[in-house]
Amino acid sequence: MFNQSSLPEPYPDEALSSWMYRVREILPEPEIRALSGISDHDRETSPLVAPYLKVLGGLGADLDFRFERPEILAFTQAYDLSLDWIKSVFSPASAKTIPISFRSDYCLQCMEESIAEVGFPVYLKSWRLLLKPFCQKHGCVLQSTNAYLYDSIDFGMDIFEHGCANPHELERESKWLAKDSEVKNLSRMVVNRIDFLLSQAEDAVVHDKVQNFVMTLLRITLMPKLWGNYSSIIKFTVQAGVDFESKKEIPMFYQLPLRVTGMVRARSFYLIGLLLGWIDEEQAGNARPRDDFYLATSASTLWRLVGNSTRIRTILQLYSTELLGVSMLADWECF
């Protein structure tokens, strides 16, 4: 009934869930066409609909990267596509990704460009790269939408609609970003430098170690000790409830990088830059917004806040390589 040439071309860097949504909107399968015409009540109660909802709904399932999911297999069968082709086009880069339950970041400019080009707000797979809180195309910090939207199969459309309906949220975020722009420029430099180092890794083991070293630094910069208790931190919304935050320190240490917004991760890369000595105190002092008194501008301040932690010291030593290691950390002796 369908063949690949009749389907819309995947947009550059498009995530599979986004493409699946577009395909179904443009060329709906007969079942979906039938389902779209019935009321919400009928949809929920009809025994005929239930099996399809199970396959089509995909709530909470990672339809971006988990290619063996039954929803994806059903899609490939319906549209006569090979799973190998799906994998070749939609596989993520070999980098750490944000789990589906915590995805929230996007670039509005990219989304608007995709609407102009293909008529849909396309969701890109690079927005789920944990160590890349900046748009790959425009260089801006990724914005973050409300956490509750994460499990939609049509995430891109949801984000876009939410943004259109809540323009004040976008304005507020743009103001914060404008205020922090110098700090974010330094963060971008750090991200690019780490990217370069990763590209220099000779084998997968070294690559993983470098990634894990950076992850550890990211976790350090997100420790509550380093947040301080000042008002400007409010902008760094953490996707977690009171229950989660009140739990012990270790789960927080490991999970926060996944739960925070792109804006928070971008700020963390600035702090990583300080820890690695890639940003000096003068640069940091010049970049710090005038009223952000508590933003650290030196590695020694950060190490002092972290305190003496054998666990962190051991982890950093474990992941040290010639490309990136404890010997390269600034003021490491303070720690």
Partner 1 sequence: MNPSQAIKVAREILEGDFALHYFSSEHLNLMQRLEESILSPKSEVVLLQGSPGCGITTLLSRLQVLHPTVAKLFKGDIYIGNWDFVDHLCDALNVRRGNYSKKNLPPHLFRVLSLIKCKAILIDDLDIYIANEGELDQVFRTIRALSSGVPGLTFVLSTRNERLANLYFKYAQPSWWSHGIRQRISVEEYRAIENRLWDGLNENYSLNVVKANLESFKPSYGLDIQNVTRTHRLHFVERFLLQQGALEILSDFNVLEEYESYVQSILSS
d(CA 203, CA 4): 36
Cα-based distances in Å from 217 to 148, 158, 220: 28, 33, 5
Residue 169 binds to partner 1 (criterion: CB under 8 A): no
CB–CB of 25/120 below 8 Å? yes
Enter the tokens of residue 236.
């760094």
Residue 157 binds to partner 1 (criterion: CB under 8 A): yes
d(CA 45, CA 212): 48
Q: Which is nearer to partner 1, 84 or 161 (CB)?
A: 161
Give the residues across from 282 on adjacent strands: none
Residue 195 binds to partner 1 (criterion: CB under 8 A): no
Residue 9 binds to partner 1 (criterion: CB under 8 A): no
Chosen residue from 7, 115, 189, 226 binding partner 1 by CB under 8 A: 115
Mark residues 295-334: x for contact with partner 1 by CB under 8 A, - for none.
Answer: ----------------------------------------
Enter the tokens of residue 330.
């600034």
Residue 25 binds to partner 1 (criterion: CB under 8 A): yes
Shortest Å distance, C-beta 30 to partner 1: 17
d(CA 237, CA 309): 26
Residue 242 binds to partner 1 (criterion: CB under 8 A): no
Residue 120 binds to partner 1 (criterion: CB under 8 A): yes
**CA proximity to 68, closest of 102, 91, 100, 99:** 91
**CA proximity to 297, closest of 271, 276, 328, 333:** 271
Q: How many Cβ atoms from other residues are within 10 Å of residue 36's Cβ?
A: 11
Residue 38 binds to partner 1 (criterion: CB under 8 A): no
Element (H, E) at 105: strand 105-106
Q: How many Cβ atoms from other residues are within 10 Å of residue 232's Cβ?
A: 16
Task: Name the one range near partner 1 by CB under 8 A: 66-74, 111-119, 177-185, 305-313.
Answer: 111-119
> How many residues lie near partner 1 (CB under 8 A)?
13
Residue 165 binds to partner 1 (criterion: CB under 8 A): yes
Q: What is the DSSP letter of 69?
A: S
Q: Which is nearer to partner 1, 112 or 195 (CB)?
A: 112
Chosen residue from 79, 90, 160, 253 binding partner 1 by CB under 8 A: 160
Shortest Å distance, C-beta 26 to partner 1: 7
Residues of the shown chain interacting with partner 1 in the complex, contacts defined by CB under 8 A: 25-26, 112, 115-116, 119-120, 157, 160-161, 164-165, 167
